[in-house]
Chain A
């Protein structure tokens, strides 16, 4: 294990160490078992002093001064000692050394991960830059000709327009549960409007449709919730939307930033009617069916990450990426901030229906729609999912589902993601951070006969970011 030794002022050992570092002088005799880190110079530590005689100079509650004179300061050096019984002997040996004040742990320290309630990390402009939106738009990859479904709490188009977006909206292809008084596109500003805004960053040309399953009147607590059967109805409508599109121009992207937070509302795992682990559940069947019909389906991975889970998470030790959020026919989207670091609430895999979840990291926790208040972040894997859905809609402007199937696109997205964390796939980061330029380059290589991607006059070179 790693430790620090604190050495007494002007101790012979410290002086000998200083003399030995950086030249050929042999190291002085160190406590047995301690291996010195020679890259770490002995570092002075001021000595605490109290005005009050007899007071503890290490008390945090008495007034203190700190002496920095060379004959008063202690020094720390660092190194390693063995684990196990040999380590205990080494600590005893070092502690007994006349030049050593004490042996202290030297634990690994890390930057904190972004958590719920933290201020935004970057803005929607940063996200646009990171997703290479200007380059994509110059190639006419902006969502034009693509239908983008927000399956959520409903969308408010007027709010989007008042915040700088001007999406095309199709009310006829939208849907709401029975009894909801507001019309699609005019629902109260909430989570679904945030999702629509975030999707619009990369796909301003997409046609939005609004499937407000979480406004269902079937389930009253909490207010913004629905039943899975509401989602079945929405997906049956989306199946018809997909089927009505000519295969050569099929482009339907479906963003879902919702799921279940607890196992006890579901039938137990192993029960034939269970949802979380059961590909035969009607919703999991219709998800696979919509994928086969040519839709790109994205689900938020969830906010039950081990570092700072949402307080509603009640999975215990069970895997939290479950049901359709873990379906092999969808992209399960984890969240990272605009510094490229996974946010602490982003759920880890493995998934229930498919082990290798989440699939990729996309941007979240940035200042964007401000739906939840001025200066508040668009946060959660809730924001990561539509942010990536926007990118998928953008590239679908160039490559229809007839040219590149949803399964092929998922595969390319995983393959071109920028690997972060442990090498290769891992359960924190999936296959890595989405890389828009690398994805487009891979699409061009895989399907050069793209519909629109080659038709632009101005054709800036898309260079994959450093990997």
Chain B
């Protein structure tokens, strides 16, 4: 996962792909552009690892962040 600062109106797949220079298939379209903090215009996207390495360092881009598996806590085994 990457976090992005986007200006109003930029939270579209096409804009993010163009802004980050992502190639086809590098941005997970089923995940989309997900707003995580409306007060700070922060969004997150899922990209493949190679693309993440390439775009890190661009202004307003942070990550890559881990995406670990999560499990129910129970019943205790």
Contacts and interface: CB of A to CB of B under 8 A. Distances in A.
Contact of B68 (A235, A257, A275): A275
A228 B67 contact: yes
Given A274-B66, A312-B77, A222 B38 contact: no
Given A227-B67, A227-B68, A260-B70, 6 more contacts: A192-B72, A226-B70, A228-B69, A236-B35, A267-B66, A282-B34
Interface string B21-50: 000000000110011111100101010000
A54 interface: no
B30 to A, nearest CB: 5
A145 to B, nearest CB: 24
Contacts of A222: 71
Given A115-B76, A229-B1, A282 B68 contact: no
Contact of B73 (A219, A230, A231, A259): A259
Nearest to B64: A273
B46 A229 contact: yes
Interface string A266-303: 11000111110010111001101100100000001011
B63 to A, nearest CB: 5
Interface string B50-77: 0000000000001111111111111111
A273 B63 contact: yes
A273 B1 CA distance: 9
Interface residues of B, number: 29
Contacts of B73: 257-259, 300, 302-303, 310, 380-382, 385
Given A226-B70, A233-B31, A380 B76 contact: yes
B30 A178 contact: yes
Contacts of A380: 73-76
Interface string A224-249: 11111111110110010001000000
B77 A310 contact: yes
A194 B75 CA distance: 10
B76 A232 contact: no
A228 B70 contact: yes
Given A228-B70, A229-B46, A292-B39, A273 B76 contact: no
Contacts of B31: 229, 233
Given A178-B30, A377-B75, A258 B66 contact: no
Contacts of A224: 71-72
A286 B68 contact: no
A152 B72 contact: yes
Given A233-B31, A372-B75, A381-B74, A286 B36 contact: yes
B45 to A, nearest CB: 9
Contacts of A219: 69
Contact of B72 (A258, A286, A376): A258
A312 B71 contact: yes
A11 to B, nearest CB: 51
Contacts of A229: 1, 31, 46, 67
A243 B37 CA distance: 12
A260 B71 contact: yes
A271 B56 CA distance: 14
A213 interface: yes
Contacts of A271: 66
